[in-house]
Chains A and B, each alone.
Chain A
Amino acid sequence: MGTIKRKRLYYIYVLIAFMGFAPAAHGQDISVSAQLDTTEFLIGDQVGIELKVKQPINEFVGIPIFEQEINTDLEILEQSENDTTLLESGHYLIKKRLLVTVFDSGYYALPPIPFLYYTDTIRTDPIGFRVRTVPVDTSQAIKDIKMPYGAPLSFAEVFPWAGGGIALAVLILALAYIIRKLKRKEPIIKRVKPREPAHIIAYRDLDKLKAGKLWQQDKVKEYYTDLTDILRLYLWNRYTVRTLERTSEEILDSLKNIDFSDEEAFETLKDIFHVSDLVKFAKFKPLADEHEKCIEGAYKFVDRTKLIVEEKKEESEVEANEEKQGVINEVNETKVLEENSISK
């Protein structure tokens, strides 16, 4: 800033400072004022301006609304809402705070701020203030310019890029998967094979055990071990009752706990477990017909306890067919009746 300009501004500053002592009263019993927190501050410092209006309750004074700056020098950073206080004298005191800054050094004036009062305008007094630069120690060596500090990356900044990258990677992988499947002529979406029903597995295993003819080869212990294992697996698959880690007694207790209602099936299972425990742990050797009885008992148990979803489905299909057939029959009967009536 040139010396002449600075000198001129100094005179303006002094003149405005003298003017600042004048009372700020306009109209009837209404006063407005503007006050700076300090009249001297460093370049870039943030300084508050407090605007005040004192007015009777039944009057209205329009407080100015600023956008980004008061004038080209004074930049507004923040402005508060109007704060209204009822005074004992029956007046309103309305306050508004502005946070301003100046980015050049020198002498400045806060211009008179206009307040609308009906068709009249009441202005505050101008206030002069000085903005100083940072003092430079010339006795020290000149230092290099510091580069601006890098702000840390925030999640909001990274997220769109990262999200986009992940989405792109997923897209590429999906395309690669589809191309590979198409090349191999495989279906793109594999259908999950439905789990085999518990009784089907049990029947298959029992058939296999029967065909193995273990007891005929004097492998009685193995025969009963396999038989109980098949039944345990069946119970696990059918009722989700933990059986492999439980003893025979505990398995039977578990069935009681799930309200197993088929008494006959329960007794059959109990008998099989009893004989099997004797064979497995007490060297008991049952007679040949006992072996057959046990495996037949196992078949019977599975028969009586298997899930009959398929049968129900078939039944419903049969019912539907029957209904369909019934409709056809009715139609036929109607046709015959109609034909008869025509012939008559």
Chain B
Amino acid sequence: MNETVDVKELNDRIEKESSFVDMIKMEMGKVIIGQKHLVDSLLIGLLSDGHILLEGVPGLAKTLAINTLASIVDADFSRIQFTPDLLPADLIGTMIYSQKKEEFQVKKGPIFTNFVLADEINRSPAKVQSALLEAMQERQVTIGEETYQLPKPFLVMATQNPIEQEGTYPLPEAQVDRFMLKVVVDYPKLEEEKLIVRENIAKVFPKANSILKPENIINARSVVKDVYIDEKIERYILDIVFATRFPEKYNLEKFSAMINYGGSPRASINLAMASKAFAFIKRRGYVIPEDVRAVCHDVLRHRIGLSYEAEAENVTTEDIITEILNTIEVP
């Protein structure tokens, strides 16, 4: 813990540095109606250098959201539709023999971009998923003998369809853990959908303006890391994550048989990082328990393994997280 940090000065700095957040939200709001949680989650991922797994039925503006974000940041964007016959080379690139130069040349894949939308990631076999997830973790790709760094910022937003499970390859727990957030995208509200319809049948579809450069995001990330997180909040985060592992120690004995495995240390790290990013979005230089609670579901829902007992009892990870938050004492 950096005891010399001046939170007041930091608060002022963040107040100033985070002004672009409102602008991003405003520009996003021109194109994306509603889906505030999705937009906030994208910003959290963007600012804390984490990737996002989105779960939602088709047609909820997932692609449009990331496309809009890419255009606002003036960054490159590519969408990869994951299919059963997709190969790792289709994703990361390959070596192609040039007859003219009589040598192998590197042909980089669509992953070499700032924003990647991996659409229906669970439709591709494990080797393709592994190639993507490795790139996500290492931020680099090896083609042939050469290793290539991926551009910065690099944000992967993968989607999963919750209603069609046949012919899919569910992501293994170890790999799904690499996503910082798993966001469940829900249908828009009635009033929101009215606006969506109106916007889409109009002659001109609104377009977001480019207001940021990728460098601004890199700078913002460094400021996010400076957001002050008190020891009490750290303890609160650890209590939450430990409660997913040892529920009986937190008076949650009823979940002992329902949880096969709890959040990993990566869950604690990501919960702290996401809380910082959320505080930054709220234009605050310090984390409060509200920030932790706001991101807790998104950070933990894919990191808790449920047992058959839980499935039989119809207990979901959402229920477990909610109960944990309602049980652990807030500092």
A residues with CB within 8 A of B:
225, 242, 244-250, 277, 280-284
What residues of B have a CB within 8 angstroms of the CB of A284 in the complex?
7-8
Band of interface residues on B: 20 to 34
Instruction: Say yes or no: B287 contacts A247, CB within 8 Å.
Output: no
Q: For residue A282, which residue of chain B has the nearest CB?
A: B286
Shortest distance between the CB of A199 and any CB in chain B (Å): 23
Partner of A282 from the list B11, B289, B290 (CB cut-off 8 Å) is: B11
CB-CB under 8 A from A282, the residues of chain B are: 7, 11, 228, 230, 285-286
* Distance in Å: Cβ of B327 to nearest Cβ of chain A: 6
- B167: interface (CB < 8 Å): no
B319: min CB distance to chain A, Å: 16
Q: Are B290 and A245 in contact (CB under 8 A)?
A: no
B275 to chain A, nearest CB (A): 11
B290 with A249: CB separation less than 8 A: yes
| B5 interfacial by beta-carbon distance below 8 Å | yes
Are B230 and A245 in contact, with the CB atoms below 8 A?
no
Query: Could you tell me the distance between the alpha carbons of A277 and B236 in the complex, rounded to whole angstroms?
Result: 14
Q: Are the C-beta atoms of A245 and B329 separated by less than 8 Å? A: yes
Q: Write out the residue numbers on chain B whose beta carbons fall within 8 Å of the beta carbon of A247.
A: 288-290, 293, 330
How many Å lie between the Cα of A212 and that of B327 in the bound state? 30
User: Which residues on the A side are within 8 Å of B7 (C-beta)?
Assistant: 282-284
Q: Are B288 and A283 in contact (CB under 8 A)?
A: no
**Residues A280 and B232 in contact in the complex (CB < 8 Å), given A247-B288, A247-B293, A249-B290:** yes
Interchain CB contact under 8 A, A245 and B330 = yes
Within B269-291, the residues touching A (CB, 8 Å) are 285-290
Do the beta carbons of B228 and A283 come within 8 Å of each other? Answer: yes
What distance in Å separates the Cβ of A228 from its nearest Cβ neighbour in chain B? 9
Tell me the minimal C-beta distance from B189 to chain A in angstroms: 21
Residue with the highest number of chain B CB atoms closer than 10 Å, among A246, A247, A280: A247
* Chain A residues within 8 Å of B327, by CB: 245
CB of B293 to closest CB in A, whole Å: 7
Q: A245-B325, A245-B329, A282-B230 are in contact. List 19 more A-B contacts (CB 8 A).
A: A225-B232, A225-B331, A244-B330, A245-B326, A245-B327, A246-B330, A247-B288, A247-B290, A247-B293, A250-B290, A277-B288, A280-B230, A280-B331, A281-B230, A281-B287, A282-B228, A283-B228, A283-B230, A284-B7
Q: Which A residue's beta carbon lies closest to that of B8?
A: A284
Query: Which of chain A's residues have a CB closer than 8 A to the CB of B32?
Result: none
In the complex, A248 Cα to B331 Cα: how many Å? 10
Does residue B60 face the partner (Cβ distance < 8 Å to A)? Answer: no
Question: Of all chain B residues, which has the CB nearest A246?
Answer: B330
3 tightest A-B CB contacts, nearest first:
A282-B286, A283-B7, A247-B289
Please name all residues of chain A whose beta carbon is closer than 8 Å to the beta carbon of B331 when the two chains form the complex. 225, 280-281
B106: A residues at CB distance < 8 A: none
Q: How far is the CA of A247 from the CA of B233 in the complex (A)?
A: 12
Contact present for A281 and B288 (CB under 8 Å): yes
Distance (Å) between the CB of A299 and the closest chain B CB?
24
Q: A251 to nearest B CB, angstroms?
A: 9
How far apart sit A154 and B309, CA to CA, in the bound complex (Å)? 38
Q: Which residues of A contact B233 (CB under 8 A)?
A: 281
Residues on the B chain within 8 Å of A250, using CB? 290
Taken together as a complex, chains A and B put the C-alpha atoms of A38 and B326 apart, in Å, by: 80
CB distance from A272 to the nearest CB of B (A): 15
Q: Is B26 an interface residue (CB 8 A)?
A: no
Q: Are the CB atoms of B326 and A281 closer together than 8 Å?
A: no
Q: List 25 A-B contacts (CB under 8 A).
A: A225-B232, A225-B331, A245-B327, A245-B329, A245-B330, A246-B330, A247-B289, A247-B330, A248-B290, A249-B290, A250-B290, A280-B230, A280-B232, A281-B233, A281-B287, A281-B288, A281-B331, A282-B228, A282-B230, A282-B286, A283-B5, A283-B228, A283-B230, A283-B286, A284-B8
Q: How far is the CA of A284 from the CA of B228 in the complex (A)?
A: 12
CA–CA, A283 to B290, complex, Å? 17
Cα of A20 to Cα of B33 in the assembled complex, Å? 103
Contact residues of B between 45 and 60, Cβ < 8 Å to A: none
| A281 CA to B284 CA, complexed, in Å | 11
